[in-house]
């Protein structure tokens, strides 16, 4: 069956009666919640652009990055125009910015000048949590077409995953006995916080699901110059992906995703695709009791990826 799955309605002006998300006056994807989700809106805006292809979201992300004299005229990003200007972006926000801009380049056939400015003018270290890692430097330069740094990025990450992340992940999962992920209708709410404290300690030392999702998005937009190396890295990450986390699986090149499971998926609280449906869960992961009809990101994301990668 090659018919595409239906993607839900995208409405930038959606009300809280119809959607949990909307686009604000700064062209950023926010939530109808007390804090509006402004601290992490750049990741949400990237995912919304990924699905709905609204160029205004790229404009919103781009405008968060400015040359600032107090940082020696380096390029620095803030999390939202209404947030504290000293609450600058983390490495995650930097990554989500480049993922969105590289995706825009792939779709439009030419790069954004702002992406080159950000990569070239963002300082190595602004604050303690803003120091770039070596793989991040390699990946950033690879997005600009540098084949040497692309090769170094893929090889370094492949070695790290196979020698460190995967062995620790397998050992931790075995010791904690968290088991396989289940489908959402079989999920019985349990939270890591209610389990013995030693299991929380294990959780802290093994790679979390959100980090795998993050790495999967990065690989999705990484150039295919070295396809065998890229596929090897995808396969290594797949070893740590949950059995029913179809978004991570498809971002990492997996085929044979069950259409009926994708089509039946219902929107969940807590961020399904960066979390767990087994005892490692640390969030309020429940099916939404509201029947949202617009901007249903988790449903639309898994359907979009199915249409792009499985048909």
Q: What is the DSSP letter of 241?
A: S
Average pLDDT over residues 126-130: 51
Q: What is the pTM of this model?
A: 0.94
State pLDDT tens for residues 32-72.
Answer: 988 898 988 999 999 999 999 999 999 999 999 988 887 77
| β-strand pairing of 21-23 with 29-31 | antiparallel
State pLDDT tens for residues 151-199.
Answer: 999 999 999 999 999 999 999 999 999 889 999 998 887 777 778 889 8
Spatial distance between the Cα atoms of 300 and 118, rounded to a whole number of angstroms: 30
State pLDDT tens for residues 207-260.
Answer: 999 999 999 999 999 999 999 999 999 999 999 999 999 999 999 999 999 999
CA neighbours within 13 Å on the CB side: how many for 117?
A: 14
- The helix/strand/coil state of 77 is strand
Q: What is the DSSP letter of 268?
A: B
Provide the pLDDT for residue 129.
Answer: 45
Per-domain residue ranges for the chain?
Answer: 1-132, 146-311
């Amino acid at each position: 069956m090659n018919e595409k799955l239906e993607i839900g309605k995208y409405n930038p002006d959606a009300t809280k009666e119809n959607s949990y998300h909307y686009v604000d006056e700064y062209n950023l994807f926010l939530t109808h919640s007390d804090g509006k989700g402004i601290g992490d809106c750049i990741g949400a805006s990237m995912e919304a652009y990924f699905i709905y292809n609204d160029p205004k979201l790229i404009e919103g992300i781009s405008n968060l990055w400015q040359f600032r004299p107090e940082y020696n005229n380096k390029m620095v990003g803030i999390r939202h125009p209404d947030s504290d200007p000293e609450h600058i972006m983390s490495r995650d926000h930097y990554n989500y910015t480049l993922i969105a801009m590289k995706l825009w380049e792939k779709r439009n056939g030419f790069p954004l000048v702002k992406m080159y400015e950000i990569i070239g003018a963002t300082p190595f270290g602004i604050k303690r949590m803003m120091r770039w890692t070596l793989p991040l430097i390699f990946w950033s330069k690879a997005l600009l077409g540098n084949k040497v740094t692309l090769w170094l990025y893929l090889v370094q990450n492949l070695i790290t995953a196979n020698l460190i992340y995967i062995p620790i992940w397998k050992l931790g999962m075995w010791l904690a006995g968290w088991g396989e992920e289940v489908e959402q209708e079989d999920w019985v709410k349990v939270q890591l916080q209610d389990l013995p404290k030693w299991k929380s300690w294990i959780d802290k030392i093994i790679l979390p699901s959100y980090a795998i999702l993050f790495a999967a998005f990065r690989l999705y937009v990484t150039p295919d110059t070295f396809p065998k190396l890229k596929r090897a890295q995808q396969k290594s990450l797949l070893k740590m992906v949950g059995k029913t986390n179809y978004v991570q699986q498809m971002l990492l090149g997996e085929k044979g995703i069950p259409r009926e499971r994708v089509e039946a998926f219902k929107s969940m609280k807590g961020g399904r695709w960066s979390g767990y449906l087994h005892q490692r869960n640390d969030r309020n992961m429940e099916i939404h009791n509201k029947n949202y009809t617009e901007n249903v990101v988790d449903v639309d994301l898994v359907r979009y990826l199915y249409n792009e990668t499985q048909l």
